Structure formats: C-alpha cells, structure tokens
Amino acid sequence: MFVPVIAFYVIFKYAPMAGVIVAFKSYNFADGIFGSPWVGLKHFRLLFSNPNSLLIIRNTLILSLLNIIVGFPFPIILAIMLNEVRKLWFKKTVQTLIFLPHFLSWVIVGGIVVTIFSQESGVINHWIRQWTGNTFPFLYNETSWLVIFVGSGIWKEAGFSAIVYLAALSSIDTSLYEAASIDGAGKWKQLWHVTLPGIAPTIVLMLILSMGKVMEVGFDQVYTLQNSVVSGVAEVISTYIYTIGLQKGQFSLTSAMGLFESVVGFILVVSANAVARKFNRGIW
C-alpha cells in the first residue's frame, strides 16, 4: 500500500531534482539538459547584480512573512473558538462555511475580491461613493493591496488549516480542564495553562513547516490579484519565474532563482527546528 506513495515522491519530487543542473548551464532545447554548455555561477551573478531581482526577493520575503506573522495565529484562534462551541448544529454549520473557501480556486476568489474592492464597480467603493462622492483605489494602492492580499489568504485557508488544530485539541485530556476548574481557573487561565500547552507541539510543527515556505508565495494568489500599478510590492519569485522562464524562455536564469529559493527554504527549516529543539519541541 505504501508503494504508490514512494512512487509519487520518487517520480515527482526526487527525479526532477536532476533539473537543478540547468541553473549552472546555458540551457537550450537542441542540446538538452546534459548537452548544454556549462557556465558555472554566471546566472547567480546576474541575479544578484540585477536590482530587479533583489526587489523580487524582497517582495517575496515581505509577503511570506506577513502571511506567517498575521495569518499563522488565525487557524489556532479559530480552532479554539470552534472547540468551545457546545451547540453541535451551529458548530457544524460554521465549520462548513469556513472550510468552503479552501475548495475554491484562486481564480474564483480573485474574482470575488475584485468584485468587492474594484474602484469602478466594487461593492465597497459603491458605498464610499454614496457617502463621500469619491472612490478609493484599494487594488491600486500598495498598502491596501498588501492588506487585501493577506486578508484574502486568511479567508481562504484559515478554516481548512484549523482542522489540524481541532484534531490536536481533541487529544487533550478533559480531566486537565476539570482539575483546573476545581482549582479555580477560569476560561482564560484554562486556555493559557491547558489548551495552548496541549497543542504546542502541533503549533511548533506547523510553524517549522511554514518557515520552509517563506520563499514561496503562491503563484495563483499573486497572479490573480496583482496589477502593474502595484508591481513594486506584488512581483514575486513565482511570477518572475513564469514571466522570465516560461514566457521569455530564460530557463537557466529562472532555475537559478528557483534553486536559491529552495536553499533558503531548507536553511530556514533547519534553523527553525534547531531553535525548537532548544525547548524540546523539534521534529527531528
């Protein structure tokens, strides 16, 4: 039964690693991956000497860190709130509603966001126009675009991510809550001294995995929400690889960028786990 899992990772994860060599070659279709001329670190020098590349790396880091700092606590809070609900029908209804956005593609979610925040036909600007006579360019202002980007990501994924924490909460021994209640602990103290320590290993695990994705900002989300006006904050590694690599055929340059992204992610995962091990929370 485990063979299909092994085959999946070998075929789609490990075998493609051979393509890393493209980053060190002047790749062309005629000569292929192994026949193309070797250029060493040429593409890496081009990347780090190009101000536009540095801007793209900076944008990727900013958007990823915003997603982690702002978005990471939301599934935890959501799971704790749902865990406290005692009306089963209400709990199931809320769970369904908050899980549903995860199953929508970013094309649909992007369309909803544009429908709400568009300057000309957006619902919010329709109300602002009625009250003030003016509109606000939510999607064309860098600050508001960042807020919308992070907010839409939380709305889409927080409900589904909360499933992991709900599972962790269900494993906490209920006698701990009873003992805390007998000792006079209220809901907040039970949350701080029982609930959070009970799900701490899961939180650390999810945080370590999130650190590995710091250099990865979902292509779909950025691509559906970005526009040329906010390219100063919206152009990231994934869209750069699509534009330069696929549309302009500079495969070696974008392979170098992808390799850099992977190496940084690996270093961050190892570093985060090393810090977690100091508190006996490491995953290896």
Contact 34, 20 (CB under 8 A): no
Cα–Cα–Cα angle for 33, 34, 37, rounded to 5 degrees: 90
SS (H, E, C) 140-190: HCHHHHHHHHHHHHHHHHHHHHHHHHHHHHHCCCHHHHHHHHHCCCCHHHH
Task: Return all residues near 254 (Cβ < 8 A) that are at least 6 apart.
Answer: 240, 241, 244, 245
Residue 197 lies in a domain: yes
Angle between helices 51-66 and 42-49 (to 10 degrees): 80
In-domain check, residue 120: yes
Residue 18, domain member (yes or no): no
What is the C-alpha radius of gyration for the chain, rounded to an integer number of angstroms? 23
8 A C-beta contact, residue 269 and residue 181? no
Range of the domain at 162: 59-278
Would you say residue 284 lies in a domain? no
Residue 141: both structure tokens together: 């202002």
- How far apart are alpha carbons 252 and 245 in whole angstroms? 8
CA 274 to chain centre: 22
| CA-to-CA dists, residue 152 to 101, 135, 148, 155, angstroms | 10, 21, 6, 5
In a domain, 38, yes or no: no
pLDDT for 258: 86
**Domain total of the chain:** 1
Burial class for 234, CB neighbours closer than 10 Å (0-12, 13-18, 19+): buried
Cα gap 130→50, rounded to integer Å: 46
Three-class SS state of 25: strand
pLDDT at 207: 87
CATH of the domain at 163: 1.10.3720.10
> Is 88 within the bounds of a domain?
yes
- pLDDT tens for the 284 residues of the chain, in order: 999 999 999 999 888 888 888 999 988 888 888 888 999 999 899 888 888 888 998 999 899 889 889 999 999 999 999 988 888 888 888 888 888 899 999 999 989 998 899 888 888 998 998 898 888 999 999 999 999 999 999 999 998 889 999 999 988 888 988 898 888 888 889 999 899 999 998 998 888 888 877 777 878 889 999 888 998 898 898 888 888 888 888 888 888 988 888 888 888 888 888 888 877 777 77
Does residue 143 fall inside a structural domain?
A: yes
> Residue 2: helix, strand or coil by DSSP?
coil
Residue 207 lies in a domain: yes
Give residue 11's pLDDT: 93
